[in-house]
Chains A and B, each alone.
Chain A
């Protein structure tokens, strides 16, 4: 395998894990218009829960579901703090994130919990025997792709239900929700629960992929999530993305969830390229910030042009 292929493989793997997390951030940031910082805590929460459960002998696949549920509980708490205790959105996320830092350390018992010697969803006897040796480097990617696609389809499906419709309405027009005689608070809580469930699931997968839980992996999750969402959604803003032409009869439209997945992969690709190009890790955050800015400015510019044309 050439170096380029394995770099791409690595980027796709990392990107897909973070794509699941980014879909969660998409729900809060784009749909609910709620800047939810609790993800910095729920991502390692998923990792911590998974590491502890796997060591206790729980089936690695089952830990995915448990992490999902526990993430949902954490998200629900953020929602309750915001809705019932009337704490501002940004602050309720910060409160939850801070609380989860200690909680994660309590759950794992320590800051770093290895599961190298345990079976995971990626590394187990089943794959070793069933998958031919040549294909083994690709099992992780295929598995991640399957999980990411399932989660994306589930989210797409959910957004089409009545509850999903209300979720979108809360972000766009709260009055409408009230007019429909629905409690917008409950809708927000549900949205936060789903979002953080996605994030914790990503954390669970991340721990199984890297082979250990480490408290410091949570820091900056929200930045990666926001970057993925912003890159993805701005990139594919135009509908259809490719206009109808001879090649594509109907043109190509990209769903927002797909855009977010691609955004996450692109973000990871940028980081990988930055590191490969000899950029210091200490400069990476600056690169991220610049990338953010460029994409936001470019997409704003387009909006202005459209308005001027009206």
Chain B
């Protein structure tokens, strides 16, 4: 088997000294893996995703991404460029006033030339069925549209792996269906957090559960 893209090796993580969230937690994500991650509220699903991109650091254990151990903030710059993270609340992610600017935010940060970025924005929006949304104002979009635009912002950076935190949370059936349709056609390796097992069944190949700070197979 090839080297894992993401390897959390016996990771410990806690917010407060007496409140361990993850303890001795290990997870490997290989190319082509589509992992569904479940677990009770507060079991550390979001924390696990945040550890991978270095938004929080483990108190013990090792985070290895793309074959290198990552410890410092600067180690994670490359990780964040190559891993797309979709937040649970799209309002956290869509901070630019217009859709085009928000989708362009990541590519511009990568230093791509403006013409290329503009093309990338149009292409990414069209791929997600959002053609013509460029000048829409982000806070006026519906919940489902917000989610898809946030996804467009992530995909426009051409990531190799996707971390999706509750991609269908707070969406109605139709909007959730549309998001799931799109996610199921994406070729990326991904880790999807969700409470809804029928939703996970449509996207994930493998199911794991967080239980008392550890990852266990289901």
Q: Determine if chain A interacts with chain B.
A: no
| B-binding residues in A (CB < 8 A) | none
Q: Residues of B at under 8 Å CB distance from A?
A: none
